[in-house]
Amino acid sequence: MKKIIFSVVASTLMLHASTDQDLNTEVELLKTQISTLEKRLDKNDSQAEKEKMQRALSGSNSFNQQDFLPSISLIANMSALSRDVSNEEYENYEIPGFLSSPGEIPFNPHRGFNLNYGELEISSSVGPYFDVATALHMEKDAVHIGELFVTTKALPYGFRIKAGKFKSNFGRINSKHQHAWNFSTIPLVFETFFGPGGLGDEGIQFQYTLPTDIYFSLNYEAMQGSNARSFGDIDKNNLHTLYLKSSFDITDYTSLLLGATWMHGKYTNATLPSSVDSDIYAADITLKHIFDSYSSLTWQSELLQRDKDIKPTSEKQAGLYSELIYKYNQNWATGARYDLLYKNIDNQPDDLDKYSAMLEYKPFEFSKLRLQGSYDRSKLINGERKNITEFLLSLTIEAGSHGAHAF
């Protein structure tokens, strides 16, 4: 370091010196300055060595507080909504054959203005073996733990374990938080099977990534199974999920992602004498083409089927969504989505669907304005089919250190 400093400064002086006398004068000045600098460096080195020795004697040689400071971010979401159904009617909608009541509506519940949520995300490394992360959801009158989990980071042979409360990582959309969705509303099939926030619960996750050129991972999750819409028997560990994920590059700019899922648990409610088997099968496909650093076209689709063994018949329900997202540049994006629900029981509507379109503007990477319109033909209002038109303008702000979202 000392030689480098001397060489740079000396070269600079030689360029500016016009005579030999000037050069000699400048060199003498340089020697004096370097002598002073060497004393300071030696002093700093001695102090650093002294601190290093003290850490070694105290047994904390590998600890540096700076390496373990947590990343903290605050996410705020708010909206203005126009809907051709009153708030009171909408709070009691039904989806025939799928959902008798919406329950709590956490996102965009009312016509007019909505402060949907604040989300405080904190994550940190905990030594060489674990990472910890949490997402605290702040509503107008409550705060609750959305996620709080520990993840290993030093297991051999491609293994990883996650434990705590977390969103299931099956498929494409479920593991993402609302502010990371491409649309401001969750697909109908996820809403009816799991609720407006998707599937999240206490449990443990095991992941194994194969050591191959093509990405391939095998995942297993054991969760309590408290999701009331598809499971709900929490007398013991109730939900078991097995899913596969794979991806590969078709070209240098085009990637294909595939997934398959099977869930098994017990379903129960107040109308059943005992719990019954509940199985969900799912498949997902994502095709993404990148035009340049900020421009891309993504087609994403997921299909889910739920089988409830409610005697004397087995109730089979299914649904899908398919969306196309075009990111024009780092500021603008647009997209369209189609949702469909269907089931194999007579006298049920076969056109329970929803059409959505959105236009998104990002003034900066951590702020987002989205205009979304939808035409929903899936719901009953006061016992009658009602086609609902909705326009939504939402604002999302992300402040602080926030991790990148999944590809």
- Residue-by-residue DSSP string for 213-272: SSEEEEEEEEE----TTT-B--SS--EEEEEEEEEEESSSSEEEEEEEEEEEEEE--TTS
- In this structure, is residue 68 part of a structural domain? no
The verdict on 28 and 134 lying in the same domain is no
The verdict on 170 and 234 lying in the same domain is yes
Q: Which residue has the higher pLDDT, 127 or 74?
A: 74
Q: ω into residue 187 within 30 of 0, thus cis?
A: no
- Average pLDDT score over residue span 187-208: 96
Kindly state the DSSP code that residue 168 receives in the 8-state scheme: -
- In this structure, is residue 63 part of a structural domain? no
Distance of CA 41 to the CA centre of its chain: 46
User: Domain ends where: 58, 85, 101?
Assistant: 58
Cα first-last separation, the chain? 42
- In this structure, is residue 212 part of a structural domain? yes
pLDDT band at 211; cut points 50, 70, 90:
very high
* String of DSSP letters for 334-356: EEEEEEEEEESSTT--S-EEEEE
The verdict on 349 and 387 lying in the same domain is yes
pLDDT (0 to 100) of residue 181? 96
pLDDT of 2 > 50? The answer is no
In sequence order, which residues have a C-beta less than 8 Å from that of residue 104 and are 6 or more positions away? 196
- Average pLDDT score over residue span 115-133: 94
The verdict on 163 and 284 lying in the same domain is yes
- In this structure, is residue 67 part of a structural domain? no
Q: Which residue has the higher pLDDT, 271 or 43?
A: 271
- In this structure, is residue 89 part of a structural domain? yes
For the ranges 43-47, 134-138, 191-195, 285-289, the lowest mean pLDDT is seen at 43-47
Mean pLDDT of the chain: 87
Burial class (CB in 10 A: 0-12, 13-18, 19+), 335: buried
The verdict on 168 and 210 lying in the same domain is yes
The verdict on 269 and 374 lying in the same domain is yes
pLDDT (0 to 100) of residue 269? 84
The verdict on 216 and 106 lying in the same domain is yes
The verdict on 153 and 243 lying in the same domain is yes
Q: List pLDDT tens digits, range 271-308.
A: 888 889 999 999 999 999 999 989 999 999 999 999 98
Tokens of 317: 């329900």
- In this structure, is residue 66 part of a structural domain? no
> Tokens 């799912």 — which residue?
282
Q: List pLDDT tens digits, range 327-380.
A: 999 999 999 999 999 886 555 677 899 999 999 999 998 999 999 999 999 999
The verdict on 43 and 170 lying in the same domain is no
The verdict on 206 and 333 lying in the same domain is yes
The verdict on 27 and 54 lying in the same domain is yes
Q: State the pTM of this model.
A: 0.82
Tokens of 122: 């904190």
In sequence order, which residues have a C-beta less than 8 Å from that of residue 390 and are 6 or more positions away? 81, 82, 83, 84, 373, 374, 376
- In this structure, is residue 293 part of a structural domain? yes
Calculate Rg over the CA atoms of the chain.
29
pLDDT of 122 > 90? The answer is yes
pLDDT above 70 as % of the chain: 79
pLDDT (0 to 100) of residue 53? 47
Task: CATH number of the domain at 159, please.
Answer: 2.40.160.10
Picking from 219, 162, 228, the residue whose alpha carbon sits closest to that of residue 197 is 228
Number of domains comprising the chain = 2
pLDDT band at 62; cut points 50, 70, 90:
low
The residue range of the domain holding 11 is 2-58
- In this structure, is residue 337 part of a structural domain? yes
The verdict on 298 and 389 lying in the same domain is yes
C-alpha distances in Å from residue 310, one per residue of 128, 147, 315: 49, 32, 6
Instruction: Give me the helices (H) in 59-159, please.
Output: 87-90
pLDDT of 100 > 60? The answer is yes
pLDDT of 20 > 60? The answer is no
